[in-house]
Amino acid sequence: MLGAELTPRSRRRARRAATRAATVAANNERLFLLLATLRAASADSLHALHFTRAPLAVTRRQAYRTLASLEAAGYLARRALGARRVIYRLTARAFEAHESLRRRASDVARRDPPAALAHYLWLRAALWAALAREGYRVGRGVDAQLALRRFLLGRQAKAVAAATGEARARAERVLAHLRGDPELTPLFRSVCPRCGITGPLMEALDRCSSCRGALEQQPARERYRCTRCRLVSDGPIAHRRARRGGAACDGLMRLADPLRFDLAWRRGAAGEDVVVLVIDDPTVALNEQLRALPLHTLGQPKVPVILRTTDPLSTYNQWEARWEVLGARHQQLLRAFSAEGDARLFPYATTAQVIDVRPDLQIRLIATKKEIT
């Protein structure tokens, strides 16, 4: 009855349920952080990206049971995408469970995504999982940024060593440009390993002002961006706006990824092995997504790229390994990376090498002979 007091027994049950829920949340912070990054993912993708990693290494059945228990406890919400696909996303209760999630997630990440975006999120997580099974790490963090930097600088240095004359001078100019590219340079501070003194952000210092010892440049593990003035720092600092007379800024400092695109990387026989993932986000203009890619320096090493479309019309015939239908946006994406290119865009064919990985990972599939019309 409404307004009735709880009995001692019901209070004990409520306390035990709250304790179990808190324990479940505490034991799954890493999973919650992964979902905060992806926004949503299928159980199969989460198994590959989280549950197979040490120290978990649990079976698929155990992983599915954990997801079901988190859903029952109110930390995850499940959503069906048609008859064959289901994705999980974090609920408001999950975001409140950990400070690490509140610092990272925006208000948009807390909402149930619309249908077109939900399919994109499923596809993105599925491709991450496919690459993880091949031994890649996937993400947009500092480690990804450093891997991409090593890849580009390492290959360009080899191009410089192999060139002569004017070709060598051009290759050296490209190398200098890549070294100074802010998109490839992580935030860092000069740190004294002897006395622990830390220098200003992004200033390369040689000697410690206290002990005169040699300083080491250490990359920042976190990157924060102000939601109002867009200031970037390695911590959630109080700051002033660059404009408006330097008034104190009341914007929130949110954790932000150094890269604006997904990167897969692993150590290969020839050094760093990287792949850029171009998964068309239906909520962002295609030109804007392409401008974020590290492919805008003529003469730079070619970067392997995987293309995926979210065009509402494109349909892949899995049985015959070909496209049944190519939508307009899909054609635009392919044209941007073709040898002919698009006169309105950068010639991406000169700086990218399109590769194909798991072509069956598509949003719209014809999977059997019976579905072929």
N-to-C CA span, the chain: 59
CA distance 96 to 189: 32
Q: Is residue 348's pLDDT more than 60?
A: yes
Write out pLDDT tens, residues 271-299. Answer: 789 999 999 999 999 999 999 999 999 99
Q: Of residues 212 and 307, which shows the higher confidence score?
A: 307
CB of 297 within 8 A of CB of 174? yes
Write out pLDDT tens, residues 197-212. Answer: 888 888 888 888 888 8
Q: Of residues 373 and 325, which shows the higher confidence score?
A: 325
Q: What is the mean pLDDT of the chain?
A: 88
Q: Torsions phi, psi of 260, nearest 5?
A: -105, 20
CB of 156 within 8 A of CB of 301? yes
Write out pLDDT tens, residues 312-337. Answer: 999 999 889 899 999 999 999 999 99
CB of 232 within 8 A of CB of 260? no
Q: Tell me which DSSP letter residue 349 carries.
A: G
CA distance 352 to 361: 21
Contact partners, residue 252, CB within 8 Å, separation at least 6: 226, 227, 228
**pTM of the predicted model, to two decimals?**
0.87
